Structure 1
Amino acid sequence: MLDVRRLQVLRAVVNGGSVSAAATALGYTPSAISQQVAVLEKETGTALLERVGRGVRPTAAGRLLAEHAAVIERRVAEAGAALADLLAGRSGSLTVRYFATAGASLVAPAVAAFRADHPGVRLDLGMTDPEDPLDEVLQGRADLAVVVQPRDQDHPGLHLVHLLDDPYRAVLGKGHPLTAKRVLDLADLAGEPWVGSERPGVCQDTVLDACATAGFRPDFAVDSEDYPTAQGFVAAGLGVALVPLLGLAARRHPGVTVRRLRAPEPVRSIHAAVRRTAWGRPALTRLVAALQATARA
């Protein structure tokens, strides 16, 4: 294996035409330069310089190695510049995962703003695994995931940044008697058939916990596991549903009426999840800042 530093010494001798010129350029003594060239010649097993008057000139092997040394020096400089860009957040790549309603209303505008300021950072965007939305981040396959998690809940190995609280709304069919009220107590829905809008997990638990606080358990007549389908069943008069604001922003069925809730108002908390070991990377923290700014807008 050739020593890169000795190659640079050889290149300085070839460019300067003498050992003394190379010593002056590199800040070494002439004897140190001669020693470095001698070791390189021993490593290569061939002469690299030949004397010409008071100076030296490269042999064919010496000229070849000096040319490669110039290429190496450029590549090392490029590597240093690329590393500086990466550490400053001007380049690199980020893998981002999100769930559907957050993707449309939160992630998309945040990514657009981030790309405008950081065009050199490549983004790999995709949906989270609904069964385990944090796994890709924990395993290092994703840098950030936008997820629903209870507030103030600690996850080993993860740094959670709160983005926004997304309150649920009551979704009623047009003409339902409860549409006469502008704000509903959650208990007003206790005797109604329900259309399920959530798959099992944190979001469904948020709804069920709120209903338990209001003193009842919903009677699910239909199970849909997504917001547009749930609204379709509600519009057809088959029950009532709870849908978060982001779900309604993405798509609102024309055949439903939406009302605020209280006592209590179910709220899901949306966070950006990042590995603790990755937190602090400039590009990553700036993407989180873009998500926070979008959430506040």
Structure 2
Amino acid sequence: MFIDIPSELEAALIDLPLPTWELEGSFLAKSTMERFRTELTATPQFEETAVTLRHALTREDGGYAVLRLGNLAKALGTGNRFRRLVTGLAAEVAVPFSPFPRWPLWKDIGVKIDKDPGKSSGIGYNAFHMDLVNASLPPDYTTLLCVRPDPLGGGLSILSDAHAAVARLSENCRALLAESAYHYGTSFDLFGVGEEYGPFPVLDGSDPGEGFVRFTAKMLDRSELCQAHAESARELAEELVRGQVSFMLQPGDYLILNQRRFLHGREALHSGQETIPAADRRLLLQLFLRAAAGDGSAA
């Protein structure tokens, strides 16, 4: 699931000046996507790399990929030019968009030592979840671009195959997870993700191995659930941990996750974050993608 960029393609991308993007509402404009694609497909081995990426995300035993863009990040820096390039790569998978009107297309996920430790910008363990779990149309893909890993060596990314975890549960447990008994948080002022959804089923009624597994471990502590529903969710959380894979994102690594197949989280950052200047702490950039209808990943 780790994809290295061929050296010939790297060299061509370093010299490729992609145009500034434009948005249509909260989505990357079609005209921008077409311009990006025209420029990118003219580079050597780009099409082959894009096919490899899409295959990794959609094949039966796939669901995530990490594009190794470290050399490009070193050559270009991690500013606008590099981000345009990564946006163009993301657009080969699905349509980039921002569900948050107060944020630009790419959202910073830094480290705040006074934040709830379990949040994405906190310093503690961020348990398995899908992004925007309580939206009726969650993003099909969530993506994370590593600008800086934790300089103290913590913060491993953790992923788990949600459908494989569900398949290991008992029939009774799966039946309880399919009931509309779960809820988490509130949503407001969002674009492109439908309406607030709750209560919702963890399992959406799709055929086994398909559809969202609408889960966040935070609802175990922050939602009122009856004992049976809470226990079923807890069993799923344990199976997700049992089946997890973990790795450290390096500068320039770009993680793309199919939310219909995998859930994600993060191990705790290393102790001592307060000794690191804020500008030197771990920094990821997040971008969401919406699949086109009929491509095998859309609702």
Q: Shorter-chain TM-score category?
A: under 0.3
Which structure shows the bigger proportion of residues in helix conformation? Answer: 1
- In terms of Rg, which structure is larger? 1
Report which structure shows greater RCO (CA 8 Å, sep ≥6): 2
- TM superposition score normalised by structure 1: 0.22
Q: Which has the higher strand share?
A: 1
